[in-house]
C-alpha cells in the first residue's frame, strides 16, 4: 500500500496538465490524503492485531478480524485510487501500480476477505 501511495504521488508530481503538475490540483491532493489516511489507519490496525495475540481467544479473534477487514478494505481503496490517479496508464503492464493493485486485491482475499471478517466482527458484537 505504501509503495502504491509513493508511486502515485511521484507520478502526480511529474505529470503535467495545463502547464502545471497534477500534484498542484486540490482535488487530487485530497485523494492522495485519503490514500495516506487509509495507509496509516491500516498500519495502526495491524499493530493492534499483532499486540493482541496473547489476549484471550474471543478478544484476540475480534481484534484480528477487525484488523483484517479494515486492512483489506483499505488495500482495495488504495489500489483503486492509484489506478484512477494514473489514468489509463494505471492499467498497463509497464506501470507497476497495476501489479501492486492486483496484489493488494489478492491480499484482501487471502485468509478470508473483508466481508468474511466483517461478518465475524458482527457475529461477535451480536453475541456480546
Query: What pLDDT score does 21 carry?
Result: 95
Query: What pLDDT score does 128 carry?
Result: 75
The pTM score is 0.88
Query: What pLDDT score does 55 carry?
Result: 95
Q: Are 95 and 86 contacting, i.e. CB atoms less than 8 angstroms apart?
A: yes
What are the average pLDDT values for consecutive 10-residue runs of the chain, which has 128 residues? 93 92 94 97 96 93 94 93 85 79 86 86 86
Superfamily per CATH, domain 2-127: Butyryl-CoA Dehydrogenase, subunit A, domain 3 (1.20.140.10)
Residues 6+ apart with CB under 8 A from 76: 104, 105, 108, 114
Query: What pLDDT score does 94 carry?
Result: 73
Q: What is the C-alpha to C-alpha distance for residues 76 and 61, in angstroms, rounded to an integer?
A: 22
Amino acid at each position: 500500500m505504501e509503495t502504491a501511495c509513493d508511486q502515485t504521488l511521484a507520478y502526480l508530481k511529474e505529470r503535467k496538465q495545463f502547464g502545471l503538475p497534477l500534484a498542484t490540483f486540490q482535488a487530487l491532493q485530497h485523494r492522495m490524503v485519503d490514500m495516506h489516511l487509509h495507509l496509516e489507519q491500516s498500519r495502526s490496525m495491524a499493530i493492534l492485531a499483532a499486540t493482541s495475540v496473547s489476549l484471550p481467544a474471543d478478544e484476540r479473534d475480534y481484534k484480528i478480524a477487525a484488523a483484517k477487514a479494515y486492512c483489506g478494505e483499505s488495500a482495495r481503496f488504495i489500489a483503486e485510487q492509484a489506478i484512477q490517479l494514473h489514468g489509463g496508464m494505471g492499467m498497463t503492464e509497464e506501470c507497476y501500480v497495476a501489479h501492486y493493485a492486483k496484489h493488494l486485491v489478492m491480499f484482501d482475499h487471502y485468509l478470508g476477505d473483508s466481508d468474511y471478517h466483517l461478518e465475524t466482527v458482527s457475529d461477535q458484537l451480536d453475541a456480546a
